[in-house]
Structure 1
Amino acid sequence: MSTAINFTLQRNDFGHLSLTDANGLTHDNVVPVRASPISAPTEGISLMGQDGHEIVWVEQLDELPPAVRQLIEEELATREFMPQIQRLIKVSSFATPSTWTVETDRGEASFILKGEEDIRRLPGGILLVADAHGIQFMIRQLSELDRHSRKLLDRFL
């Protein structure tokens, strides 16, 4: 069941999100931002204006009408890039910097891990691995990796 919302959302002629608030004021180039993209991806979405100020706060993405939810999810998908590591294929060395070759949900990738401090543990068993360019790779659940991958990863944790 969808709750009533006090704004409308659509794409403008340039493909950007345009929000009309309860007062009839239109805000162009609106950007959705998740409050907790990893631990609570469907909760706490802020719709931000061009000036960086919040226009609308959405408590629960699932409570929005399907068309509005779809627009927000599409926009988030184009902005968020965080491949999930499914398997570690090889590492060039156990000393850093090292080159990692991994299989992700988006295909095979290679990146440079500058140091062990670029692997962050998050609540719920999630690991974030930042490459030398700042791209974040996620390991959703360490226990779900195969034995070879866990053995390689244990050398860095």
Structure 2
Amino acid sequence: MSQQNLPLTRNSFGHLMFTDGEGKAHLITPVRAFPIAAPAENIGLINSDGEEVAWIERLTDLDEAPRRLIEEEMASREFIPVIQRIHRVSSFACPSTWEIETDRGATSMVLKGEEDIRRLTSPALMIADSRGINFLIRDRYALDAHSKRLLDRFL
């Protein structure tokens, strides 16, 4: 079966369905193998029993319709705002309230402690706020100078 023509549909409840080569329909969940480092590559389609029923090397290999279904499904389950700018921090001691700009708009978060800033594959960082929301900084060196100065005080 060609990756481009991946047989994906939504059932009457809006769940994503995959039909295998034998004609059996599976309720599936797309799962990224490397959600931060390679979000558009190596995606497994996992059925309700936790078994992988298909593997996608690259989303770009798919036709537009199945690619859009997978992207919509993952976007509805994944919520990791990407920090684009740090406007201000209330204090350089924790807990500290941060006023930030993300790819989903302006917001604030409370950093409980420096240990809530995790280093990922350089230069990425993951910051967990007091509510349990994870915020991603894809490239800390690409931030503007003001944001870098504020962030460096916590690293």
Instruction: Please confirm whether the aligned pair reaches a TM-score higher than 0.5, indicating the same fold.
Output: yes
SS of the equivalent of 2:91 reads: coil
Distance 1:11 1:91 in 2: 44
Report which stretch shifted further, 55-64 or 69-78: 55-64
Match of 1:133 in 2: 131
Match of 2:23 in 1: 24
**Residue type matched to 1:100 in 2?**
W
CA-based RMSD of the aligned residues comes to: 1.6
Match of 1:103 in 2: 101
SS of the equivalent of 1:36 reads: coil
SS of the equivalent of 1:51 reads: coil
SS of the equivalent of 1:103 reads: strand
Distance 2:131 2:71 in 1: 26
Match of 2:38 in 1: 40
**Residue type matched to 1:21 in 2?**
D
Mapping for residues 1-157 of structure 1, pairs under 5 Å: 4-5=2-3, 8-28=7-27, 30-157=28-155
| Alpha-carbon shift at residue 86 of structure 1 (Å) | 1.1
| Alpha-carbon shift at residue 60 of structure 1 (Å) | 1.7
Unaligned runs of 5+ in 2: none
SS of the equivalent of 1:111 reads: strand
Distance 2:13 2:53 in 1: 20
Count matched residues: 154
CA-to-aligned-CA distance 1:64-90 (integer Å, 9 cap, x gap): 222111111111111111111111111
* Identical residues among aligned pairs (%): 57
CA-to-aligned-CA distance 1:113-156 (integer Å, 9 cap, x gap): 11111111122411111112221111121122122211111110
| Alpha-carbon shift at residue 7 of structure 1 (Å) | 5.1
SS of the equivalent of 1:132 reads: coil
TM-score normalised according to structure 1 size? 0.91
**Residue type matched to 2:19 in 1?**
T
| Regions of 4+ moved over 2 Å | none
